[in-house]
Amino acid sequence: MTDNPPLSPRNKIALAYAKNLGYYKFPGGGIHEGEENTSALIREVEEETGLEVIPESIEEAGLVSRIMQSEMFPKTIFVQDSFHYFCRVKMSPDGTPLIKNQKLDDYEKDDGFELRIVTIAEAIQTNLRFKSDNYAKLDMIARETLVMEKLCGIDENLPRAFAETLLEKCVAKNPGPWREHSYAVAQAAEKIAWAVNENAAATGSTTPLLNPDFAYTCGLLHDIGRQMGYTYMAHVYDGYHFLKNLGYDQLAKICLTHSFNLHIIDDYIGKIDITDSQYEELKNLLAATEYDDYDRLIQLLDSTCGADGTKNMEDRMNDVKQRYGHYPEGKWNKNFELKDYFEKLMGRELYEVIK
């Protein structure tokens, strides 16, 4: 979908806005037993927004299929398919949509659902600021936001509250210093993204700008594969597949690339604790991947930020060298190259920016 996005962030669409909590979602809901998908679409749009769908205008937009551990029942897998459609609605002669009465259920009433016709950019920005203690709600809003982003072909951003809750849930499965390390990399990535953008604005350079929120999320989730246990190359493999399964292709790519600054799998520092076929899979994925500034940024910061809050590349690399017994020279030199690269983009010293 991202190769040829059907919508632009400036397009306006009809969404359900939860005015008591401040989030947007696509009108929609569960399909009744024996009900056609499109009948459910027509019914749900009318219930949640009062709009009347024109049946002939319905076109398939895509499917989000998720398989995950149930939040409610232990040892239970939760499978959910969400079908997305484009459609138009009946209009009155004055050119405004015909609106019937909504029929909201209790949770929709509590959240204060109302019809809003807004740009997708505004809906995404509102959702990215959404905060809640309710994981199921955070997860639902993150999913809706991801679909909006994919429809427009823009960076996959998660609401920060969702990304942070996701990290905490994963750290709870395997507590360790990777939590502090992930936060340190995230905060430093965000600062560098701002510094790159400020320097580009000040110097009039045509360097592509970086999205500070996306940079933060890349840093926060780059080691998410560590939730599976105390692993080495397996954390790259597990992190990649974990985020890929959630639909976050760009973030999954960061999990894949962050340990390989030379773009080759062979000089990995640490044990190869994956099967031969998984190794082949990683090798092929890596070879098919083109590095961008987000990959380079997390490679640099993974080699700079320790778990103890230290932010010094040589200290961090010496610590790794001590723990693993070696640090390949090419990898070591590449990190200094990455430091120079971002210092040029920022027009400032790395440590001054990320301190």
**Least Cβ distance, residue 223 to Fe ion (angstroms):** 4
Q: Which of 52-60, 62-70, 219-227, 241-249 is the region at the interface with Fe ion (rule: CB under 5 A)?
A: 219-227
Pick between residue 102 and residue 299 the one whose CB is nearest to Fe ion. 299
Q: Which stretch binds Fe ion (CB under 5 A): 98-106, 179-187, 218-226, 334-342?
A: 218-226
Q: Could you tell me the smallest distance in angstroms from the CB atom of residue 349 to Fe ion?
A: 25
The residue from 156, 223, 238, 293 that contacts Fe ion (CB under 5 A) is 223
Interface positions, 324-353, toward Fe ion (CB under 5 A) = none
Check residue 238 for interaction with Fe ion (CB under 5 A). Answer: no
Q: How many whole angstroms separate alpha carbon 329 and alpha carbon 176?
A: 28
CB of 258 to Fe ion, least distance (A): 6
Q: How far is the CB of 220 from Fe ion (least distance, A)?
A: 12
**CB of 44 or CB of 223, closer to Fe ion:** 223
Task: Give the range of 50-58, 82-90, 215-223, 293-301 binding Fe ion by CB under 5 A.
Answer: 215-223
Judged by CB under 5 A, how many residues of this single chain contact Fe ion? 1
* Residues 167-206, mask of contacts with Fe ion (x by CB under 5 A): ----------------------------------------
Q: Which residues bind Fe ion (CB under 5 A)?
A: 223
